[in-house]
Amino acid sequence: MSRGHSVQTESLPPHVDHRFRQQVARAHPQASSCRRLVKEWQYGRMLAHVEPTGGPTRGTKVNRARHRRARAAWWPTLIPIGLILASEYKFRSRGIGEAIGGGIDATIAIEIGSYGLAVLYLYRRFGIRPPRRVPSPVLLLAWLFVFYMAMSVLWTPFPQFAAVRAAQLLVTAAVCQVLATRAEREDLYRMAHVFIGVVVVSVGIGVALPLPRTPNTQDRFNWLYVHPVTAGIFLGIALLLALSFVLPGGLPRRWRLPVYLVVIVVLGTALVATGTRGAAAGCLAGVAMFLLTARGARGRAEFLLMAIPGAVVAVLAFGDWLIDFATRGESVQRLETLNSRTDLWSFAFDAVSEKPIFGNGMSAARGLFLESIGLGGGHNVFVNILVEGGIVGTALFCLLCFVTMTIQLALTRVRAIRTDAALLLGLMTFLLVDGLTADMMAGAANVASIWLFLIVAWTSVIFRKPVGPEVRHGDDRTPVATVSEIS
């Protein structure tokens, strides 16, 4: 091949000189290697325009590889949303005792098959190869936590159920790894919009087709056979996502502003109707954290000036309703024991005292509590992880949450990604506050756990990627050049 001619062909001769390989690598830095690029070129999947100077031809059209990526860019949306739907959306109700040894029916088979298809797709598309760059600290901590919980299957009293959950947790971590290293921010925005749409449609299903409920949830809103506590997590996450697109200078919108406002009203009303106090408190805390960090010092002052008088007015105007929502008409005895949670936690600490260091193993909390007092899980994420993972597992989980939120708080000082970091910080706050009365965040195959790993992946994306100037609605600020320039 002569160096005096530009290359505009879909096939290459078998021998390509080293200098031309360097030129192609500079022109296409996204390719993993020159060998892979040449192979893609030979199959007719990429058109390159290389001038004698070695640089790409200016003004040329987007090549076929970029068109191919644009068509296939829905995988960061479809895989996480598919896993969430397969894990939580059920079309039948099972008794509490069947959660551990109830056997496999069609719904469980679909759930397990969805995780298998997800990992098969990731393997077929990306293969198994070492990472190209040093992973972020949150990604490393996430893998440490996942590997430790997977190893705890060796000493759990319920090995079959725990093995399935461990496999699902490993698949979720693999999806997180691929998203963190290959997804772009635009992919995550698309995923957020699809999740919001799924939750809004679910609210419509719950209104149009109310299904029979358990005696304890007769007056609480849900859809299909999703528990009101789980529905509250869906609604709280979706509300925070929608709010990030409404805020002036926030994330780039795909819909008109009135659509987001209607969505927020629908989601907020449905969240109150679920009667889930933990999710409601977590949503308030998450929204407060998001608004305090999303617009810098000036926005923080404006929020405080409006929030404090607004809270006083709300308490004075809706005090009786707030008390009714918080008590839900329950007796003083049930309120003192937090719906028997204190009795449950007392038993949990007895179980921890037997195996304090490494815990009782994955999924042990559900099985132990079902056998002893008839309740599944510790109804507190920290109690649950202490029973199952012991001091080691609890330390890994707390370290993961602490490092993730510390990095997110630091990234709120970068203007171009401030809203992303503030949103993720709000989501983490929501999950942790909700986790005081729910135990799903540190588990596997549920919406809270999957979103924890999505938050880790999203944090890794904005942590690693250089940020160039981009147009945002209502934002006239000049973003900084890179993430590392934190002032």
pLDDT at 270: 94
Lowest mean pLDDT, pick from 20-29, 37-46, 375-384, 390-399: 37-46
216 vs 137: which has the higher pLDDT: 137
Averaged pLDDT, 270-294: 91
371 pLDDT higher than 80: no
Better-scored residue on pLDDT, 298 or 377? 298
Residue of 324, 239, 232, 236 lying closest to 274 (CA atoms): 232
CA 444/CA 442 separation, integer angstroms: 7
Q: Which residue has the higher pLDDT, 352 or 171?
A: 171
> Is-contact 244 250, C-beta < 8 A?
yes
Q: Which span out of 24-28, 193-197, 293-297, 480-484 was modeled with the highest average pLDDT? A: 193-197
Per-residue confidence (pLDDT) for residue 322, from 0 to 100: 60
Q: How confident is the model at residue 232 (pLDDT cuts 50, 70, 90)?
A: very high
Least confident of 86-95, 247-256, 438-447: 86-95
**Across residues 265-276, what is the average pLDDT?**
92
Mean pLDDT of the region 290-314? 77
Q: Is the pLDDT of residue 416 over 70?
A: yes
Supply the pTM of this predicted model.
0.78
47 pLDDT band, cuts 50/70/90, is very low
Q: Give the pLDDT of residue 42.
A: 46
pLDDT tens for 99-142 read 555 567 788 888 999 999 999 998 888 877 766 667 789 999 99
Q: How confident is the model at residue 408 (pLDDT cuts 50, 70, 90)?
A: very high
pLDDT score for 124: 87
Choose between 336 and 213: higher pLDDT: 213
Judge whether residue 1 has pLDDT over 60.
no
